[in-house]
Amino acid sequence: MAVLGSHIPLDDLNTQDAEALLKWAADTYGERAGIVTSFQTTGCVTIDLAARAGLNLRVLTIDTLRLPPETYEVIEAVERRYGIRVERFQPDPERLRRMVEQHGEYLFFDSKPKQEYCCSIRKVEPNGRALATLDLWITGLRRDQSSFRKEVPKATVVNQGGREIVKLSPLADWGEQGIWDHIRANDVPYNRLYDQGYTSIGCVICTTPTRSGEDKRAGRWRWFNQAGEDKKECGIHIGGSGI
Ligand code: SF4
């Protein structure tokens, strides 16, 4: 069986800049390529770079139904600014109902496995449905976001739902300063929670502001900071996902 990775010029792609990667994605994959974003700063800059280059890339997001109002506001601001429609993927209603019935709304406080279960229902499963519509997945992962992400490649091939797809992180080598410089210079819409000390934004309650010197994702699930529970990932970017 042919292996997708053998046909993708990964070595070359990993040396290219963000604009070149986005152009390659749009030219090569068209409607089967998409920016999947939770509207962190990097995702907003990625959408802006694509729009500036005139690229018609789809934008997809996972609406966990527990996002802060500021996140819904930035989604709408992006739609207005770029004249696009963001495709929203929500949890399966029946699975969500069963989870809440069995474990309650706030199961994520109980244990790491229950937090991961909640993330699997609200994020990972809808993310899988979103990725089923793509052969090329564009993410906003950056190497400076956490120790867990420090070696993220710009281009890789990952197994997603039993098939191989290309995963790009075009801004993997950008730093925090460069992201904010781009946002300010180009008046890019961004989540206003960044003005309140947040450095990574997910669901309400599970996300808190960070302190100086902490990892960007340290505010996620802050009650799990004991040894062995400090992996600040929800499951979307681990396992067979290439980091
Ligand atoms: Fe559930 Fe919290 Fe994960 Fe959101 S971040 S899916 S509320 S555990």
| Residue 7: predicted pLDDT | 84
- pLDDT tens for 202-218 read 999 999 998 888 887 78
How far apart are alpha carbons 163 and 161 in whole angstroms? 6
Residue 147 confidence class, pLDDT cut points 50, 70, 90: confident
What is the per-residue pLDDT across 37-85, written as a single tens digit (0 to 9) for each? Answer: 999 999 999 999 999 999 999 999 999 999 999 999 999 999 999 999 9
Average of per-residue pLDDT across 1-20: 82
- 128, β-bridge pairs: none
Assess contact for 159 and 56: CB atoms under 8 A. Answer: no
* Alpha carbon of 48 to ligand 1 centroid (Å): 27
Residue nearest to atom 7 of ligand 1 (CA): 203
CB of 224 within 8 A of CB of 233? no
Ligand 1 pocket residues where CB is under 6 Å: 64, 66, 108, 115, 118-119, 122-123, 202-203, 206, 234
pLDDT higher than threshold 90 for residue 3: no
Q: What residue owns the CA closest to ligand 1's atom 4?
A: 203
Q: How long, in residues, is the chain?
A: 243
> Whole-prediction pTM value?
0.90
What residues contact 112, with CB distance under 8 A and at least 6 apart?
A: 224, 229
* Phi/psi at 88 (5° precision): -105, 130
CB 164 within 8 A of CB 179: no
- Residue 55, classified by CB atoms within 10 Å of its CB into exposed (0-12), middle (13-18) or buried (19+), is middle
**What confidence tens digit (pLDDT) does each residue in 92-136 have?**
999 999 999 999 999 999 999 999 999 999 999 999 999 999 999
Give the model's confidence band at 200: pLDDT under 50 very low, under 70 low, under 90 confident, else very high: confident
pLDDT of residue 76: 98
**Per-residue DSSP letters for 121-178?**
IIIIHHHHHHHTT-SEEE----TTS-GGGTT--SEEEEEETTEEEEEE-TTTT--HHH
Active site residue 234: yes
